[in-house]
Amino acid sequence: MKTNFSALLALLAANRALAQQACSVTEEVAPSLTWSKCSAGGSCAAQTGSLVIDANWRWTHTVEGYDNCYEGNSWDSTLCPDGDTCAQNCCVDGADYEGTYGVTSTADSVTIKLVTENEHGRNVGARLYLTDGGSKYQLFNLLGNEFTFDVDSSNVDCGLNGALYFISMDADGGQGKFPGNQAGAKYGTGYCDAQCARDLKWIDGTGNVEGWQPVGEYAPDVGTGDMGACCAEMDMWEANKAATSYTPHPCVNNAYHSCSGDSCGGTFSADRYGGTCDADGCDFNPFRQGNREFYGEGSGFTIDSTSKITVVTQFINEGPGGDLSQIRRLYVQNGEVIGNSESTAPNNPGNAITDEFCAAQKAAFGEEQDQFTEFGGLSHMGQALDAGMVLARAAGEPSGDCPSENRTPPEIEARVPDASVTFSNIKFGPIGSTFTEGEVTPPGPGNPPVATTTPSTPAPTQAPGGPTAPQWGQCGGQGWSGATTCVSGTTCTVVNDWYHQCL
């Protein structure tokens, strides 16, 4: 018995040594964030969650002291000669969210600053996840539902990106897959995306030490290693004041998994298309699709990026349990519901993401690689949405009408040091439940913006024989007692047994 007990202790110690550890020199006090879960009919209940910053941003130091295991963009070769030894010697610490990272939250709102000067130097940006208020990330099952949020991008200049997106991370941050991991979701571990990110310090519970190289002169604290972390990704909002896009990225294996070297594909590999995740995705960017007057600064655009915007994304499936068939976008601004812009790109019509739209887009823009179709398109992406995804906020660079000068990170930081983005009023529920449906004003393909005149709580529109449902409005379904006749030019379409919509 004594021998067996000793062996058990040795095994437990080995598991602890080979996994990611957490320290508490700085107490981890996650900012709270309230969001709403809605039901058919539009009633919504407040949910209490919290925000946690990604492990990549955290101080990484010795378990038994204060020596840096990672400094600048390099690992300490003595403490971290390899990934497993690094996991034994080092830990990630708690975070001072506002003081160090420029993250503030109030009730249902969170603001992230671009640059935060602190006692340790300078921090640039942050990546945050929504948790269930405990030790796990909040999962959203998006298939057949809609997700709505407010965003203020008025302080997000060209060259920057205030982003909100979903990824197929493990809810526990990898603790279940990598026994002994003491950090987990509470400390922001387990990130993955469709670029198979290789700039992560920790992957699979060990240090990403082997092959680690600094990225370049404009990223003094960033490097890449041999390992990458892959999973499906649904970009809901990649935007600044000049441009916006939304993009699904399926993977052959949608769930979290690691990869090695250039076989990862994506941004950080010599062969961008060498992996099994769709690095490019199928995006809808109004600017790229030809409508340059749909989204931008000021009242001359249909969507004015200098004012708060409510963004609605609907994940339409072919009836209960059916495949994802369409990802539809609506906007609400100043009390008016506005349909997505129509694409005017040659041979690439449409105003929503469908398999047909995506295939036509690849051909229209001369893109030789179509990993979106190759890896299963919307049907396969829908499996990731149905399995549950984690809500994140990160950074990137969307297409738009931005000057080419002053685009390097130091130049951008010097030009707009007070840049920030604010996300608020998150709502999730069945299609049609998260916003007040009104008559949708089409923007007009590539034309000057047209005036929208319908208030958020419109007076009912009467038609011979009874009330009329507006475009995009509900017109039927089990338990529905409202209008069943659609406004002229639209048809009441069965989305599922519970929701019919005027399309």
Active site residues: 233, 238
Contact between 29 and 94 (Cβ < 8 Å): yes
HSE-CB of 341 using CA atoms within 13 angstroms: 30
Please state, in angstroms and rounded to a whole number, the distance separating the CA atoms of residues 301 and 294: 5
Pairwise CA distance, residues 386 & 140, whole Å: 8
List, as one string, the DSSP characters of 171-208.
TTTTTTTSTT-SSGGGGT----BTT-B---SEETTEE-
β-strand 128-131 against 44-53: which pairing, if any? antiparallel
Distance CA 371, CA 362 (A): 10
Q: How far apart are CA 54 and CA 63, in angstroms?
A: 19
**C-beta contacts of 317-322 below 8 A and 24+ residues apart:** 317/143, 317/144, 317/382, 317/495, 317/496, 319/494, 319/495, 319/496, 319/497, 320/144, 320/496, 320/497, 320/498, 322/496
What is the torsional sign of CA 213, 67, 189, 55? negative
Residues for the chain: how many in total?
503
Amino acid identity for residue 324 in this structure: L
Per the structure block, which two tokens stand in for 203? 């992957």
Q: How far apart are CA 488 and CA 503, in angstroms?
A: 10
